Structure 1
Amino acid sequence: MNPQAAQPPPLLAGVTTVTETLTKIADANPSFLATNQKATVLLEIARAEAQLAELKLRVMADAGDVAADTPASPDAHKHPIADPAQPPQTRRPGASVPLGRVESARLSHSQVSSRTSASVKTGRAGAHLR
């Protein structure tokens, strides 16, 4: 048997490594970091987000075959391919804020757009961010 045949493709192996590493540090407390360390962590998170977003877009651009191969079912809307903008939600064990509360705190795109439009019309652009 070919030893390379059993190895996952590099894209899958890389993404799996990222998620496994995030799981390992899920309970790390940033309160104990020095200010400069927090700044560095935030910068690295932004870099990682950008790289993951770019990779996701490249895979999605070539994922027409996945959508075509995904069987239609009553639960098809729950599949990440059905709405890639709504990724599967996970809740790490011991999280202090329930995921539903975090989700409800977020503004929808239409809420942000309407607030931005109203602020621009009244000459108070950016006021909705304060």
Structure 2
Amino acid sequence: MSAIYTAIATSSGRDGRSVSNDGTLDLTLARPTELGGDGNGTNPEQLFAAGYSACFASAMQLVASRQKVDASDAAVTAEVGLNALEGGAFGLSVVLRVELPEHLHGEAGQKLVEATHQVCPYSNATKGNIPVEIVVE
């Protein structure tokens, strides 16, 4: 597989910084209060949620144009859960909440979302690895 784009970032842990190689991303990282941190920064789960929701929304625009439907008013919210697994390990789960314009409610919207889930790189990366639930709202 040949990459058409490669993003590069370096991070120093949950309580540190994350910086992209071009400097456009430079974030303070902090544990959320639910994990005993002060919450004074972003965290990997928020970054994953932002990336997945943005990627899915972008993929939906591509699929909508292929299907010749207008999804310009659609929005995607990703809820990324950090879950305790057996043996002290951790895993992720995702709920994608897709808000579609009224003219895409029903079968047309469902078809659009299902096709988007097949195209989206995040969906393809998580397929079979973590539970992903899609809720059309």
**Structure with greater helix percent:** 1
TM over 0.5: no
If the length of structure 1 is used for normalisation, what is the TM-score? 0.26
Structure with higher Rg: it is 1
Answer 1 or 2: higher relative contact order, Cα 8 Å, separation at least 6: 2
**Structure with greater strand percent:** 2
If the length of structure 2 is used for normalisation, what is the TM-score? 0.25
